[in-house]
Amino acid sequence: MTLTLTNNDRKFIAAMEAAVEERGADYVYPQVTGTIDDAMHKAGMCVYRDSSGNPACLIGLALAKAEIPGTDIPGYHERTRSASELFAEWDTEDGYGALSWFIAEASDKAQTEQDNGAAWGDALVAFYDDLKFNGVEL
């Protein structure tokens, strides 16, 4: 079965690529200790924007770059796997979110890679690998 990308999905994929290009494929998300962001992580919150309001992680930056209506990311949120889950199709009252479930799932893989210390280029590879695994034709 081949899954079909929506326009929003395509915008998000392009934004993932742009985020990696902006920071570099070798960029490693800093694990900063002693900050309000670190304290929020330790309290079980995900940090999508840093304390200055800038997108913090790969997925947060991609969502900001994609400029998809209805996906303005909060600064902090109760623990989810990645910010894209907040806007996935299963996370809205009518069942049709801004992003397809398989984009959110692939984003989770990229987020996990990033959070485990991988470079953003490797996180992007994990994102694409998961899309391919789920039968998404790019």
Residue pLDDT, tens place only, 23-47: 999 999 876 555 555 555 555 556 6
**Statement: the pTM of the whole predicted model exceeds 0.85:** no
Say yes or no to pLDDT of 104 above 70. yes
**In sequence order, which residues have a C-beta less than 8 Å from that of residue 3 and are 6 or more positions away?**
100, 102, 134, 135, 136, 137
Within a domain: residue 137? no
Within a domain: residue 116? yes
Q: Model confidence over 56-91: pLDDT tens digits?
A: 788 888 988 888 766 665 554 444 455 555 555 444
* Confidence category of residue 15, pLDDT binned at 50, 70, 90: very high
Structurally, the chain folds into a number of domains equal to 1
Within a domain: residue 5? no
Within a domain: residue 3? no
Structural domain including 48 reads 12-132
